[in-house]
Amino acid sequence: MRIRDKFRVLFIYPNLMMSTLVPIHISLLSSCLKQEGFQTDLFDTTYYKTEEISFDEKKVELLQVKKFNLEEQGVKYKETDMYEDLIKKVKDYKPDLIAITLVEDTYELGLSLLNAIKDFDIPVIAGGVFVTFSPEKTITNENIDMICIGEGEETLVELCDKMRKGQDYPMVKNLWIKQNGKIIKNELRKITDINNLPFIDYDIFEPKRLYRPMYGRIYTMIHIELDRGCPYECSYCESPQLRRLYREKGCGVYYRKKSVARITEELKWLLKKYNPDYIYFNSESFLAKSPAELGKFANLYKREIGLPFWCQSRPETVTEEKIKILKDTDCQNLQFGIEQGNENFRAKILKRRCSNKQIIDAMKLVEKYKIAYTVNNIIGFPDETRELIFDTININHQINPTTLNCYIFAPYRGTYLYNYCLEKGYLTEDYKIHQLLDGARLRMNSITYEELKGLQRTFPLYAKMPEEKWPKIRIAERFDEEGNRMFEKLRKVYYERYFK
């Protein structure tokens, strides 16, 4: 094997169309490689027309977000053929390694991209949470040579270093590798100290990828990692299983936080380099910290950064002291997951033990301090009924979020509820997820998928409008001529009254 002076890695990012939030993982992997002298480039599908309507445009139709126009910033769909562009990129760039991110929503898109370049004799490595929890399914694909289980920062650097030097690499930890008709399955490496990782490299993306809509406006938005993982046990999320995976393998505690000093230094560097006007904090539960810790962060942030920001948390982490701190730090948007409104169902099925009173009291505190907030809701959980969904509607009806989301349940591989649905026969192992808004067609008797779609499009109407309007909203659940006409009429009223 030859030693390569200039080792090139081409990342492929199969993304939902026009989903413009820049991913941290590719940005960070690129930064780790560049720090060690490797060259990186990216093929990003975000601006290609891979769907009839984008995820965010569909959310506009469903009254979940306010109308926006990315074209004001010159963001438009590419008019060229995506597969031909990828082939040209590979020909021109001549990568030594192709690294693709595979998540469940874009798994099929990712495989189609690899199939388009299968005639190139270039090793392909796949990573991502889907790969971690579906390694057997992924490694058997004929166009994938190796996969990364778990975190990739140290793994990818070690792999590229061995490849650049012409050394064998079958024993690199975290990798499963095809070799001589067999699959070598290496052990998991210990977790990475995220405080010691290099700063994020957004240069691998087009500059306009930093444009992101928020409440109808377009911002230049920086997405930064505050911590990794989550301390909670939600049954519909992969985070609890990632914690168990690392704990059972003796590889450390998966949930980790960056220090306040590290976050501040990284933000200062990003501000100088990219000149954003908005910060998007990547943390599953931003307020899962003491008031003293939050106050230390807020003081540094106000003094050193001073930009408006978005973060998300859980209702049970809210206290008046913490909300005061956020208000004083120019937190402009918060997001909370309610998910389901029946306390017993939420505790038993979702593993979320928070009372409705806690939720309502928390949201009222946020309203008291006039911070805009969004709530997330999910309908179509296994064994959920129309009555249980109206428990969710009713709790939304008692609060006043600026916007609200309603997704249809998607049983992602690696979650407790995925296994629950398999055991119940609600889905088969070969089922596919399109994306969160569409969720999954579970084969259960408690409610049909068509009913779920009708409730999804009318969810904001039920949550915001007075109950005397509910009979008309019930008509708007139907996808016939009368139902569609009623929905358009109510949508116009909603937009004028509630999207100010």
> Is 146's pLDDT higher than 70?
yes
- pTM of structure: 0.95
Is the residue at 196 inside a domain?
no
Q: Is the pLDDT of residue 5 over 80?
A: no
Residue 319: how many CB atoms within 10 A of its CB?
14
Same domain, yes or no: 489 and 433? no
Rounded distance between C-alpha atoms, residue 403 and residue 334, angstroms? 10
The tokens of 444 are what? Answer: 């259960």
Cβ 25 vs Cβ 100: under 8 Å: no
Q: Is residue 326 part of a domain?
A: yes
Q: Where are the beta strands (DSSP E) in 174-319?
A: 175-179, 182-185, 211-214, 217-225, 227-228, 256-257, 278-282, 309-313
Q: Which of 155, 185, 215 is the last residue of a domain?
A: 185
What would the pLDDT profile of 94-131 be if each residue is shown by its tens digit? 999 999 999 999 999 999 999 999 999 999 999 999 99
Q: Element (H or E) spanning 337, and its range?
A: strand 331-339
CATH number at residue 387: 3.80.30.20
Same structural domain for residues 306 and 376? yes
Whichever domain contains 38, its CATH number is: 3.40.50.280
- pLDDT at residue 4 in the model: 58
Number of domains composing the chain? 3
One domain for residues 173 and 110: yes
Name all contacts of 290-294 with Cβ < 8 Å and 24+ positions apart.
Answer: 291/319, 291/321, 291/322, 291/325, 293/260, 294/322, 294/325
| Confidence grade of residue 1 (pLDDT, cut at 50, 70, 90) | very low
d(CA 382, CA 141): 31
Instruction: Please give the residue range of the domain that contains residue 416.
Output: 226-464
Strands 175-179 and 146-148: antiparallel
Judge whether 211 lies within some domain: no
At position 220, the amino acid (one-letter code) is: T
* Residue 262 shares a structural domain with residue 393: yes
